[in-house]
A and B are shown apart, each in its own frame.
Chain A
Amino acid sequence: MKFSKSALLGSVVGVALLSTSAFAAGVHPETGEKLADDQTFTYRILDEHSSFDPQINEDVSGASMARNLFEGLYNQDNLGNLVPGVALSHTVSDDRQTYTFKLRDNAKWSDGNPVTAGDFVYAWRRLASPELASPYQWYAALMSVKNADEIIKGEMKPEELGIKAIDDHTLEVQLTRPLPYFTAMTTHSSTFPSPEWAIEAHGSEWTRPENIVSNGAYKLAKSVPQEISVLERNTQYWDNENTIIDKVEVLVINDENVALTRYLAGEMDLTDAPAGQFPRLQKEYPDQAVVFPRLCSYYYTFNQRPSGPEEFKDVRVRKALSYALDRRVITDAVLQAGQFPAYTFTPAVTAGFEVPKVDFSGWSQRERDAKAKELLKAAGFTKDNPLEFDLVYNTDEGHKKVAIAMTQMWKQKLDVKVNMSNMEWKTFLNERKNGNFELARGAWCGDYNEASTFLDLMETESGYNDGKFSNAEVDQLLSEAKSMINPQPNYTRIEEIMANEMPVIPIYHYTEDYMMNPRLKNWPIKNAEQNWYAKNLYKVAK
Chain B
Amino acid sequence: MLSYILRRVAIAVPTLLLLVVISFLLMHAAPGGPFTSERPLPPAVLANIEAKYGLNNPIYVQIINYIGGIITHFDFGPSFKYKDQSVNDIIAHGFPVTLTYGFLSFLVAVIVGGALGIAAALKQNSWLDYFAVGVSIGAQVLPNFVMAPILVLVFTLWLGWLPGGGWNGGQWNYLILPIIALSTSYMASVARLTRSSMLEVLHTNFIRTAMAKGLPYRVIIFKHALKPALLPIMSYLGPAFVSMITGSVIIDLYFSTGGIGQFYVNSALNRDYAVMMGITILIGGLTILFNLIVDVLYAWIDPKIRY
**A252 — nearest CB in chain B belongs to which residue?**
B256
B290 within 8 A of A: no
B246 smallest CB distance to A (angstroms):
15
A257 touches B45 (CB 8 A): no
> A141 — which chain B residues lie within 8 A by C-beta?
42
Please report the C-alpha to C-alpha distance between residue A17 and residue B166 in the assembled complex, in whole angstroms: 31
A430 within 8 A of B: yes
> A255 — which chain B residues lie within 8 A by C-beta?
253-254
Which residue from A224, A254, A261 sits with its C-beta under 8 Å from B93?
Answer: A224
A47 touches B266 (CB 8 A): yes
A396 smallest CB distance to B (angstroms):
13
* 8 A Cβ contacts from A189-206 to B: 204-205
Given contacts A135-B35, A226-B262, A430-B31, contact A257 B157 (CB under 8 A): no
> B32 — which chain A residues lie within 8 A by C-beta?
425-427, 429-430
Given contacts A258-B165, A426-B271, contact A133 B52 (CB under 8 A): yes
Say which size band chain B's interface belongs to.
35 or more
B238 within 8 A of A: no
Please report the C-alpha to C-alpha distance between residue A516 and residue B113 in the assembled complex, in whole angstroms: 43
> B270 — which chain A residues lie within 8 A by C-beta?
426
A251 touches B256 (CB 8 A): yes
**A58 — nearest CB in chain B belongs to which residue?**
B37
B258 within 8 A of A: yes
A225 touches B48 (CB 8 A): no
**B265 — nearest CB in chain A belongs to which residue?**
A254
* 8 A Cβ contacts from A493-534 to B: none
> A58 — which chain B residues lie within 8 A by C-beta?
37
B42 touches A251 (CB 8 A): no
Tell which of B64-72, B76-84, B127-135, B211-219 binds the partner: B76-84
A414 within 8 A of B: no
Please report the C-alpha to C-alpha distance between residue A424 and residue B265 in the assembled complex, in whole angstroms: 13
What 1/0 flags go to A419-455 for Cβ under 8 Å of B? Answer: 0000011110111010000000001100000000000
B235 within 8 A of A: no
Count of interface residues, chain A, beta-carbon cutoff 8 Å: 53
A52 within 8 A of B: yes
A285 within 8 A of B: no
Please report the C-alpha to C-alpha distance between residue A133 and residue B51 in the assembled complex, in whole angstroms: 9
A424 touches B269 (CB 8 A): yes
Please report the C-alpha to C-alpha distance between residue A257 and residue B256 in the assembled complex, in whole angstroms: 13
B210 within 8 A of A: no
**A226 — nearest CB in chain B belongs to which residue?**
B258
B164 touches A265 (CB 8 A): yes
Tell which of B1-9, B148-156, B197-205 binds the partner: B148-156
* 8 A Cβ contacts from B17-40 to A: 30-33, 35-40
Which residue from A48, A57, A138, A444 sits with its C-beta under 8 Å from B42?
Answer: A138
Which residue from B31, B42, B48, B85 sits with its C-beta under 8 Å from A426?
Answer: B31
B262 touches A253 (CB 8 A): no
Q: Which of A52, A149, A207, A226 has the most CB of B within 10 A?
A: A226
A137 touches B48 (CB 8 A): yes
Please report the C-alpha to C-alpha distance between residue A267 and residue B42 in the assembled complex, in whole angstroms: 41
Given contacts A130-B51, A133-B48, A254-B262, contact A224 B167 (CB under 8 A): yes
Apart from A47-B266, A50-B83: 12 A-B pairs, beta carbons within 8 A: A130-B51, A133-B52, A138-B42, A152-B42, A208-B84, A225-B85, A226-B256, A226-B258, A258-B254, A426-B271, A429-B36, A433-B36
Footprint of A on B, CB under 8 Å? 30-33, 35-42, 44-45, 48-49, 51-52, 81-85, 89-90, 93-94, 148-149, 152-153, 156-157, 160, 163-167, 252-259, 262-263, 266, 269-271
Footprint of B on A, CB under 8 Å? 47-48, 50-53, 56-58, 130-131, 133, 135, 137-138, 141, 149, 152-154, 204-205, 207-208, 224-228, 251-255, 257-258, 261-262, 264-265, 267, 424-427, 429-431, 433, 443-444, 463-464
Query: What are 23 residue pairs bridging A and B, where the CB atoms are less than 8 Å apart in the complex?
Result: A48-B82, A51-B83, A53-B83, A133-B52, A135-B45, A137-B45, A138-B42, A208-B84, A225-B93, A226-B252, A226-B256, A226-B259, A251-B166, A251-B256, A257-B149, A258-B148, A258-B165, A265-B157, A265-B164, A426-B31, A426-B269, A427-B31, A429-B37
Q: Which 8 A-B residue pairings sit nearest by Cβ, starting from the closest?
A: A426-B32, A227-B258, A133-B52, A430-B32, A130-B48, A262-B164, A226-B258, A430-B31
